[in-house]
Structure 1
Amino acid sequence: MAEYLIYFNQRWVGDHTPAWFAERGPLVRAVIEEIKSAGQFVFAGGLEEDGPVFAADPTGDAVLVTDGPYVESKEYLGGLTIVDVPDEETARMWGARIAEGCGWPQEVRRIKS
């Protein structure tokens, strides 16, 4: 088995109405339940857009922890799912299913072990 990260950049989401998002939620939650039923679920979650962000920089004399992202960027991680699957084909399938449920692109990467 190998773990894969399925994730999206918040910029990939696009502009949608609250009603559109309300329709997508049950679809993607159903996919997550399928992953759990298959015994391949590790973790899933979305990140708060307006929540606190902290950066830790160890490149000085001491680790500097500051408010805000380390690098100012318009792109940032919006959410992620980790699956533990027998092969790449299954990881691709779950990535496609999550993308379909969410309604925006997902990227799938194998996690080094």
Structure 2
Amino acid sequence: MAQYIIYFNQQWVGDHPEEWFAARGPLAKAVVEEIKAAGAYVFAGGLEEDHGKAFSADATSGTLTFTDGPYTETKEFLGGLTVVDVADEAAARLWAGKIAEACGWPQEVRRVG
């Protein structure tokens, strides 16, 4: 078994009316329930959209410092993620495809470790 992270940047979501998002929620929840039923679920969740509420920890100078806000200012930031534990890349592709269809925006997939 291998773990894969399936994730999206908030900017990939696009602009949609509130009704569109409301219709996507149940679809995404259904896919998560399907992943759980298949025994592949590790974790899933959306992240706080206000990236100003993020904070950073940095020890590269030899001294640990915490800074309010993201580590670097960027136009893209992580919007949400799902971690699955599956037999192979084909299974990771299956779940990523289902999540992309349910959410209505692209997903990126990477194997963990």
TM-score computed with the length of structure 2 as normaliser: 0.96
Q: Identity across aligned pairs (percent)?
A: 66
- Give runs of ≥4 in structure 1 deviating > 2 Å: none
CA distance in 2, matches of 1:83, 1:106: 13
Q: 1:45 corresponds to which letter in structure 2?
A: G
> Residues 53-92 of structure 1 correspond to what in structure 2 (within 5 A)?
53-92=54-93
CA distance in 2, matches of 1:91, 1:106: 11
Which residue pairs with 2:18 in the alignment? 18
How many residue pairs get aligned? The number is: 112
Of 59-68 and 95-104, more deviation after overlay is shown by: 59-68
Gaps of 5+ in 1: none
Of 8-17 and 56-65, more deviation after overlay is shown by: 56-65
Q: 2:2 corresponds to which letter in structure 1?
A: A
CA distance in 1, matches of 2:45, 2:57: 22
SS in structure 2 of the partner of residue 109 of structure 1: strand
Q: 1:92 corresponds to which letter in structure 2?
A: R
